[in-house]
Amino acid sequence: MNPVERHPHCELCQQDGGILIVKTEKLRVVRVDDADYPGFYRVIWNDHAAEFTDLSPADQVPCLAAVALVETLVRQHLKPTKVNLASLGNVVPHLHWHVIARFADDKHFPQPIWGQAQREVPADRWQDLRQALPALDQAIKDAVLTSPQ
């Protein structure tokens, strides 16, 4: 695939898709600014590809390695109950992996975040976790930049 292939009408070809943490030649990691989910990142393939298997096997490996790297650091820094990984793309069919720290008392747990809300969460519940985000963002940036591409 052409390394600079961009589609004019694709949101993730035209925009970062969140708070840009780090960008390499092939992919980027963004953090989603979500009031209910402090530890919510996306690994986005830079080129336009709809499905994971639109990537060559040689590209699938570093793509998933980046997802695993973000998951590892999210676990280390935020100690979530569970991490949810998903590549859906029904609305924006440009390959992006959600990496979402889930907590037993979060808005939808144990449902997926796209499911029915299970509870109201106090506004200050995520205050401590949010304070941990700058260090987590930096750790993700450092790790992605030093990982094999």
Which chain residues interact with a second copy by CB under 8 A?
A: 50-53, 57, 60-61, 64-65, 67-68, 71-72, 75, 81-91, 93, 102, 109-112, 114-116
Kindly state the smallest distance separating residue 83's Cβ from a second copy, in Å.
Answer: 6
Q: Give the 3-state secondary structure of residue 13.
A: helix
User: Please, which residue, 64 or 123, has the CB nearer to a second copy?
Assistant: 64
Q: How many degrees, rounded to 5, is the angle at CA 69 between CA 110 and CA 77?
A: 65
User: Please, which residue, 20 or 87, has the CB nearer to a second copy?
Assistant: 87
CA distance 75 to 69: 10
User: Please, which residue, 1 or 50, has the CB nearer to a second copy?
Assistant: 50
Residue 16 is classified by DSSP as: -
Kindly state the smallest distance separating residue 24's Cβ from a second copy, in Å.
Answer: 19
Kindly state the smallest distance separating residue 56's Cβ from a second copy, in Å.
Answer: 11
How many C-beta neighbours within 10 Å does residue 28 have?
22
Kindly state the smallest distance separating residue 52's Cβ from a second copy, in Å.
Answer: 6
Helix (H) or strand (E) holding 78: helix 57-78
Phi, psi of 42 (to 5 degrees): -130, 135
Q: Give the 3-state secondary structure of residue 120.
A: coil
User: Please, which residue, 7 or 82, has the CB nearer to a second copy?
Assistant: 82
